[in-house]
Structure 1
């Protein structure tokens, strides 16, 4: 990226609250290296308006995985993803930056900001579903984990008598609610029309990862070896299920189809880096 490029730097409010010092450092590096307009949205609506009004400026997001997903989703739905590369300066807690790391973005403020200015644009695949949702890296449909039943509430008089005791103990006592064992799915999984699993087979996990223009699909039955396939379109159907698309959990749905869009979006990465 040339130092003469104009940047639109959108700083996610969560990043400002989580690590204001890293935000300040990244902003200083970017402002020193390029003509920069800084936007400080306080809501998703303001975030969307700032991005829509970027003009010819290159968008740079300072924030976590959710901020990146929000940006890509907005540009995809506006059919503007192909207009230029995105850049990310990851700021957030370690669990909130797993997607950034997997894509090859440095997680240090200085290194990430320098990559914005001097990095290389890489075209990346996108998984797009039939509700216009996107997956940047990985999709998973794990078996749902149940929660142990909660006892019926005690009568009001008993609750009133015990309230002070509960307040005293609740800070130190371990939780009495525990996660029940995972319950396998009954799902129909198709890859380019080829049946990988049907409703008569219990499935513990389904994962999809797009790589080099195709989706790598892995279905893990409860009592059989994993089934693997490569495809351009993956359809999962059956009883209601939830799925994890990168950092977000979606659903429940009864049917969803994901299609690979090869090279559909571009991300600025350090020179020589390769997104996994």
Structure 2
């Protein structure tokens, strides 16, 4: 990633406040607005739905967009700019407010309202890589493909139940089964969980197979790295002893398998049978604090 040491102190700002942020933490929203308004000329937008949000962003003109919202709002904003082919030319600023702020913090944005708002005013632009798939989906952080649920595993064995009989609530069994399917995989150690079995996936990095369908895996992780490459980690199933982690780096990653799901940026996608991600180098700009500030 690269940083451009350009202060944003004199910018005109378009402050777009995500509805969820207003509902979950109105006090932090108010604080952020006060700090931003004291340091720059601001126009505040309060969209009520995705359509209003998209219109506000499209009509920003010369104003620099500032998002007040959580990780989900950040991902939606980047995806929208990518679909409009405006991502490369737009420097986005974020004040994280809401329940899920892990992604913003990992990207270098302060998760406190005051510190984040000050970074908007005094920070620098950081250029970041992004993963883009063939359906124009974007991934900002790591994506993980977890293990599959074993056929016929009772929900109570994996989730512990809720103290009541499941037989009368088929919707509960369905929900619990989905939860088991989406258990995240941590590549640093074995991630087998009760009720989960290995996946059979073919993982190719720049056209070269890293693992094929004949060798079951416990999980796959793909992370945008630096310099336009993705870091790929595959955890094969252990047989007797812990299996060695398979690693590779490349610009194009293709995963093929039977109806797999993947977690990315706090959301879940799939099931799909094939997905290809390409790394776009320094595809977008994010305002972060100056080093040493």
Q: Which 4+ runs in 1 deviate beyond 6 A? A: none
Count of residues in Structure 1 that have an aligned counterpart in Structure 2: 250
How far 1:270 sits from its partner (Å)?
Answer: 0.2
Q: TM-score, normalised by structure 2?
A: 0.81
Q: TM-score, normalised by structure 1?
A: 0.86
How far 1:123 sits from its partner (Å)?
Answer: 0.4
Is the contact between residue 8 and residue 120 of structure 2 (CA under 8 Å) also seen in structure 1?
A: no
- Whether 2:237 is the aligned partner of 1:218: answer no
The whole-number CA distance in structure 2 between the counterparts of 1:117 and 1:51 is 19
Written as runs of structure 1 = structure 2, the 5 A alignment for 1:1-276 is 1-93=7-99, 96-145=100-149, 148=154, 152-153=167-168, 180-212=194-226, 213-223=228-238, 224-272=243-291
**Range 138-147 or range 255-264, more displaced:** 138-147
Distance 1:24 1:120, change over 3 A: same
Unaligned runs of 5+ in 2: 1-6, 156-164, 170-175, 181-193
Paired position in structure 1 for 2:160: none
Unaligned runs of 5+ in 1: 155-175
Is the contact between residue 203 and residue 254 of structure 2 (CA under 8 Å) also seen in structure 1?
A: yes
Query: Which is greater in Rg?
Result: 1
How far 1:75 sits from its partner (Å)?
Answer: 0.2
Distance 1:2 1:192, change over 3 A: closer
